[in-house]
Amino acid sequence: MNRFKKLSLLFVLLVAVLYNENTFAQADTTSTHQTKSAFWSKVRFGGGFGLAIGNNYTDVMLAPGAIYDFNKYISLGFGLQGSYVKQKNFFESYIYGASMIVLGNPIPEVQLSAELEQLRVNTTYDNNLGSFKDNFWNTGLFLGAGYQNNNVTVGLRYNVLHNNNKNVYSEAWMPFVRVYF
C-alpha cells in the first residue's frame, strides 16, 4: 500500500473515531441535532493561500484545513494542499497532497505542533537541453513552535525528514502562519 493510501486510510479512521467518541459522550442528549452541534462546535476551519507572481514566475497555493479541539490544550487536524508553480522556459510543477497535524498549547500564547505531510510532485522541465519529467512523493514531518494570539499563530517549523536531493522545500526550516476560525 503506498503512502498516500495509508495516509488516506488513517484520516478516515481518525475521523470515524472522533465522530463516534463524541456521539457516545453525548448519548444522553435528546436529538441527533444536538449531538452534531456538540461535535461541530469543537471543529475550526482555516488554512492558507499563497500567490507569487513576477519575472516569468508563477506560484499559486491553496491549503484548506480543519482541526478538532479536544480541549484547550490539544487539537488534531487534517488538511489538503494544492500548488501550481511555473518558471517560464524552465519548468512547470503540480503539487498536491494531504497532511495531519497535532497542536498542543501548554499555555495560551504558545503552540507546539507536529505535522505529517504527504505530497505528490509532478514536474516537467522544458528548456534548451530538452524536456523531461520528475515525478515523486515527498513526505515531510514538521516539528514547530509558535506564538498564538486568538485565531492566528506565527512560528517556525523544522522538517526532520528533509532531503536535499528530493524535496519540495529548499530548506528544512520554514516560517509559518496558521489561521483557524
**7 in Cβ contact with 98 (< 8 Å):** yes
Asked if residue 32 and residue 48 are part of one domain, the reply reads no
Give the integer Cα–Cα distance in Å for 86 and 2: 28
Asked if residue 170 and residue 87 are part of one domain, the reply reads yes
Asked if residue 108 and residue 98 are part of one domain, the reply reads yes
Asked if residue 147 and residue 66 are part of one domain, the reply reads yes
**Total-model pTM:** 0.77
Asked if residue 10 and residue 51 are part of one domain, the reply reads no
Helices 32-40 and 3-25: crossing angle in degrees, nearest 10, is 120
Asked if residue 139 and residue 63 are part of one domain, the reply reads yes
Residue 23 reports pLDDT greater than 70 = no
Asked if residue 158 and residue 99 are part of one domain, the reply reads yes
If one counts the domains in the chain, the total is 2
Asked if residue 155 and residue 105 are part of one domain, the reply reads yes
Provide the H-helix boundaries in 58-162: none
Would strands 57-69 and 91-107 be described as parallel, antiparallel, or unpaired? unpaired
pLDDT band for position 28 (cuts 50, 70, 90): very low
Asked if residue 123 and residue 75 are part of one domain, the reply reads yes
Structural domain harbouring 145: 43-179
Residue 21 reports pLDDT greater than 90 = no
C-alpha pair distances (Å), 131 with each of 91, 92, 124, 125, 156: 9, 11, 7, 5, 36
Asked if residue 170 and residue 102 are part of one domain, the reply reads yes
pLDDT tens track for 37-83? 899 999 999 988 889 999 999 999 999 999 999 999 999 999 999 99
Kindly report the CATH number assigned to the domain that includes residue 90. Answer: 2.40.160.20
Q: In terms of C-beta density within 10 A (0-12 exposed, 13-18 middle, 19 or more buried), how is residue 80 classed? A: middle
pLDDT tens track for 150-174? 999 999 999 999 988 888 888 999 9
Asked if residue 53 and residue 16 are part of one domain, the reply reads no
Residue 17 reports pLDDT greater than 90 = no
Concatenated DSSP letters of 13-79: HHHHHHHHHHHHHTTTSS-HHHHHHHHHTTEEEEEEEEEEEETTEEEEEEEEEEEEESSSSEEEEEE
pLDDT tens track for 106-164? 999 999 999 999 999 999 998 777 899 999 999 999 999 999 999 999 999 999 999 88
Asked if residue 162 and residue 108 are part of one domain, the reply reads yes
Strand 152-159: give its sheet, edge to edge: 43-54, 57-69, 74-87, 91-107, 110-127, 130-149, 152-159, 173-179
Residue 25 reports pLDDT greater than 50 = no
Residue with cell 488538511: 79
